[in-house]
Chain A
Amino acid sequence: MSAGTGRLTAADRVVDQVLEASRSDGCVVIVEELSQAEVRFANNTVTTNGTRRDRGVSVIAFRETEGGTAVGTASSSGATDVIDLVRRAEANAATAQAAEDAAPLVTRGHPAADDFADPPVMTSLAGLGTVLTGLGDAFRRASAAGTRLAGYAEHQVSTFYLGSSTGLRLRYVEPTGKLEAVARADGGARSAWAATGADDLATVHVEELKERLDRRLSWGERKLDLAAGRYEVVLPPDAVADLVVPLGDATSGREAEEGRSVFSAPGGGTRVGESLSSQQFSLRSDPFAAGLECTPFLVTGASGQDVSVFDNGLPLERTDWISDGCLARLQYHRAGAARSGVEAAAPAHNLILEVPGATSSLEELIGRTERGLLLTCLWYIRDVDPETLLLTGLTRDGVYLVEHGEIVGSVNNFRFNESPVDLLSKTIEAGRTERALSREWNEWLNRTAMPALRVAEFNMSSVSPAT
């Protein structure tokens, strides 16, 4: 896709060059090759577009020192002077104190690395499939119907190469795509949103998305005003992802042990083992989950509170953060896990919420709702109080009143104040788990699978006049 002239050093060679140049006691090098194509539209016209190729190289130098191992990192995006990068990482390691997250470098990982010398996988505008060619027709038909489409389609492929002085040579190709759109009618007074996340946009079509949008728009022809208050709500899988992604992010072992998390126990320790819901929820990450496959080894250019550069290359497995409705695991890097006497646990690039055995569709949940609000998606979600994991945010592009199992009209938007931990305990019923795209968080986590949920007493704190 790029204007590449093919003169960039091959990624696997960059890994070798870094390791050959390394003078430190240990070294990890990560090359992420990125290829992307995108098209954006609004007001029934394409606005911006782009294709790009990028390469990120991270070098992590490890130095044995008094009391442990010190770390220095340096990274680049773009064409790289490998030697300069190695020396910068080593200079940073030379003055660093022993790291708190030190652990022996990983020596073995899955999968077998016989593809390491393969070039990165590239995408191009062709990677947008029929989306590009379908837009013009969709715009013309929307204009004729008095509606306006705005949205975005993107296809990107990241190819990761990870090498270490301990012999790791790992490669993984992670393609990610999405199509999302809003349809607005009556000058914006009625609107609907729909989206699809997929590895490959060949199976995603504007026509199908537009049908979903038109159906939702038709629900909004009768307008109703409702006041703020606590409502029963029906959350489609996308909206569940909006609330559950922050729940996944809140599973820090260290924060919980330090008493500064929703998962801290009063008097010390964590809430692991505690029941969070009477529903048999499983919240997990799993790099091998069908349809949500992602990088099956840990790749990180920087340490954080529960993730460590020492753990690069660590095989990732299915990890249940919540199991049978109970808090099961928290995130720990290996050093933290050893200190706490637990197993290390790291998230993958996906997140799955499921009630095993649940088979109901969203429509069936709506059908069993006596009176409640059907939401579309949530927006501008921010932490308010980490102690309860209270989040605030807005409903957006479609709130509908359900009475006696039927959608009877569309309702104004609301600001909510609600905790995803409480969401689990207030769940009345969960549907079957399916691929979902969080509108708020998909740039950071595209691969999610969520059930639709019926939830009691959802706190709509105030009315938003926004449309």
Chain B
Amino acid sequence: MATVELDAEFLALPLEAIRSAVLERARALGCEHAEARIERIRSQVVSLRDGRLETSADNVELGLGLRVVHDGSFGFAATIEIDVDAAAALADEAVATARATAPAVAERVELADEPSHGESVWSAAYDLDPSGVPMAEKVALLEDWSGRLLRSAGVDHVTAFLLAVVEDKHYANLSGTVTTQRRVRVHPEVEATAVDAEAGGFETMRSVAPPAGRGWEYLLGQGFDWDDELARIPDYLAEKLHAPSVTPGAYDLVIDPTNLWLTIHESIGHATELDRAMGYEAAYAGTSFATFDKLGTLAYGSEVMNVTGDRTVEHGLATVAYDDEGVEAQSFDIIRDGVLVGYQLDRRIARLMGLGRSNGCAFADSPGHTPIQRMANVSLRPAAGSGPTTEELISSVQDGFYVVGDKSWSIDMQRYNFQFTGQRFFRIERGKLAGQVKDLAYQSRTTEFWGAMQAVGGESTYRLGGAFNCGKGQPGQVAPVSHGCPSALFRGINVLNTRAESGR
């Protein structure tokens, strides 16, 4: 974007007066560190069922959160009162909280250094503010999408859904960094269902468009071809309803980026969060097999595996200019030539582990929550040069499946054992696609799976996938994150039949 446009209504709040009041009071109370966030988050949901509006929601969240480090302890407090007096009182409350928990703090909190970045503004790249589009226009678009599917033979039910979020955030810390940032993201989704009334049973087929750091223009076709997707879903669904049930066993898989992004998220993204690896999430999200002693030596996968973390890619859901600790957004290596070389960091963990500067992965999902270490856009790099196409990857498989679209997912607390399903699974016989099967899940262990990755596709196969709802922390926080990846070829992966798993 040539110019940064921020929301006038948000800028009209007494941002400077409030941040000054809260930070000055925190300084006066002797805090080593303090950072305030005034945030306004507009979230809109529209959902249609069989072409009829089922629900619409339009929420505005506005609040002020303050985190301090006082005598080696964190203290966090939040309020919904956006005025100078309440802001100053909030500093007292955060310090009181730090003092109250200090007797049980055995590990003094210190933060990695980060220079002051002065005052700056930033906006994500988008054209049309989705919150500015009238509700009726949103409903009409989803009605159109639903209607196209409902008019197709074999489609019994359709759900259509949109979640749009606009996040305005004003951040200031005692070092003098003052940032005002705007993030915009949309998640449109349609799903068709076919019911086999006599036999009992049903199948679904969902759009594979990822949520994206884009505006309303995404639903109008910029960045995704909705017309093509909507035209294809009924045939995919009809074929799936009558497809043979998969025969379990070990098969080669070509996994499309629409499915592989989620496997990356679960088996690489979370596993390379250093707070997890050090046990700080042991009671909730879990730990990691990729322990700190293995940094620089762990064979994570095959030599074609290169993974980066970034908070900079255009339209990425984790993309910002500065994180919620005032750290500048960066791009960094996590896995190089199959070997673990880096972790995602926040300022506390970077300092604790002697890693120098944080790579900018702190995020709080609302003004009411304290920042915690959250995921960067963690992405698998495509093959250098032109690289193979998806068709070329498929052509190198004698007996396997081509997996498209994410669906069910689950992974253990140390990020070894995972199981994923998908939207559609095409049989590959002697290098050619040979129709869908159903009831397929693939199950593997992280290093075995990535070790079995024989080839990654070229740049032409690279897509950005992602999710709005990555969960972590207590109290629970959700974070949006993108994952880029090419199509990739895996040899000898364990395929299950989910009907057989249920004992049928």
Partner of B501, one of A5, A49, A381, A459: A459
Q: Which of A112-120, A162-170, A257-265, A283-291 contacts B (4 or more CB under 8 A)?
A: A257-265
Q: Which residues of A contact B280 (CB under 8 A)?
A: 42-43, 47, 150
Q: Say whether B278 faces chain A, with CB atoms less than 8 Å apart.
A: yes
Given known pairs A95-B134, A384-B408, the reply for A42 and B61 (CB within 8 Å) is no
Distance in angstroms between the alpha carbons of A154 and B473 in the assembled complex: 13
| Contacts A78-B61, A380-B413 given; does A39 touch B52 at CB 8 Å | no
Contact B201 A150 (CB under 8 A): no
Q: Does A419 contact B (CB under 8 A)?
A: yes
A148 partner residues in chain B, CB cutoff 8 A: 279, 282
In the assembled complex, the Cα of A385 lies from the Cα of B96 at a distance in Å of 49
Minimal Cβ-Cβ distance residue in A for B283: A150
Contact A266:B198 (CB < 8 A) given known A46-B105, A51-B77, A135-B104: yes
Contact A188 B287 (CB under 8 A): yes
A253 to B198, CA, bound (A): 19
Interface string of B122-135 (1 = CB under 8 A from A): 00000000000011
Partner among A46, A97, A132, A180 whose Cβ is within 8 Å of the Cβ of B283: A180
* A268 interfacial by beta-carbon distance below 8 Å: yes
A364 to B224, CA, bound (A): 59
Residues of B contacting A: mostly: mixed
B residues 421-445 touching A (CB-CB < 8 Å): 421, 439, 441, 443, 445
| Band of interface residues on B | 35 or more
In the complex with contacts A78-B80, A305-B49, A92-B58 CB distance below 8 A: yes
Q: A4 CA to B61 CA in the complex, in Å?
A: 17
A55 near B408 with CB under 8 A, answer no
A interface footprint on B206-240 (CB within 8 Å = 1, 0 otherwise): 00000000000000000000000000000000000
Are B80 and A55 in contact (CB-based, < 8 A)?
A: yes
A378 to chain B, nearest CB (A): 11
Contacting residue for A302 out of B45, B193, B284, B410, CB 8 A: B45
A394 to B106, CA, bound (A): 32
User: Which residues of B405-421 are within 8 A (CB) of A?
Assistant: 408-417, 419, 421
Q: How far is the CA of A380 from the CA of B285 in the complex (A)?
A: 9
Q: Is the CB of A466 within 8 A of B414?
A: yes
Question: A417 to B90, Cβ gap below 8 A?
Answer: no
Main secondary structure of the interface of A (DSSP, over half): strand
State whether the Cβ of B103 lies closer than 8 Å to any Cβ in chain A: yes
Whether the pair A258, B195 counts as a contact (CB closer than 8 A) is yes
Residue of B nearest to A143 (CB): B106
Judge whether A415 and B412 touch: CB under 8 Å. Answer: yes
* Cβ proximity bits B361-400 to A, threshold 8 Å, 1 near / 0 not: 0000001111010000000000000000000000000000
Say which one of A68-76, A315-323, A337-345 lies at the interface with B.
Answer: A68-76
Q: Which residues 84-128 in B have Cβ within 8 Å of A in the complex?
A: 85-86, 89-90, 92-93, 96-98, 100-101, 103-107
Listed stretches B68-76, B309-317, B324-332; interface member: B68-76
Known A259-B197, A264-B200, A304-B55: A464·B77 in contact at CB below 8 Å: no
Q: Which residues of B contact A390 (CB under 8 A)?
A: 498, 501-502
Q: Are A464 and B475 in contact (CB under 8 A)?
A: no
B413 CB contact (under 8 Å) in A77, A304, A417, A466? A466
Q: How far is A95 from B143 in the complex, measured between Cα atoms in Å?
A: 14
Render A292-313 as a binary contact track against B, CB cut-off 8 A, 1 for contact: 0000000001111100000000
Q: Bound state CA distance, A135 and B73, in angstroms?
A: 15
In the complex, A379 has a CB within 8 A of chain B:
yes
| B73 near A394: Cβ-Cβ < 8 Å | no
Which residues of chain A come closer than 8 Å to B289, judged between CB atoms? 465-466
**Among candidates B101, B278, B415, residue contacting A43 with C-beta atoms closer than 8 Å:** B278
Contact indicator B197/A267 (Cβ below 8 Å): yes
Measured in the bound complex, the distance between the Cα atoms of B503 and A89 in whole Å is: 49
Across-interface contacts of A101 in B (CB, < 8 A)? 54
Q: Mark A36-74, 1 if CB is under 8 A from B, else 0.
A: 101111111111111111110000000000000000111
**Complex Cα distance A41/B474, Å?**
10
In the complex, which residues of chain A have a beta carbon less than 8 angstroms from the beta carbon of B498?
384-385, 390, 417
Does B167 sit at the interface, judged by CB under 8 A? no
A226 touches B (CB below 8 Å):
no
| Given A388-B502, A464-B417, A52 contacting B92 (CB threshold 8 A) | no
CB distance from B99 to the nearest CB of A (A): 10
Collect the chain B residues with CB atoms within 8 Å of residue A74's CB: 58-59
Return 19 A-B CB contacts under 8 Å, by A number: A2-B77, A3-B77, A3-B79, A3-B90, A7-B81, A43-B280, A45-B104, A46-B73, A46-B101, A50-B78, A52-B78, A75-B59, A148-B279, A260-B195, A266-B199, A382-B408, A465-B414, A465-B417, A466-B286
User: 4 shortest A-B CB distances, which residue pairs?
Assistant: A266-B200, A466-B414, A95-B136, A78-B62
Task: With A77-B60, A380-B412, A465-B445 given, name 7 new contacts (CB 8 A).
Answer: A3-B81, A49-B370, A73-B56, A73-B57, A136-B103, A388-B504, A415-B412
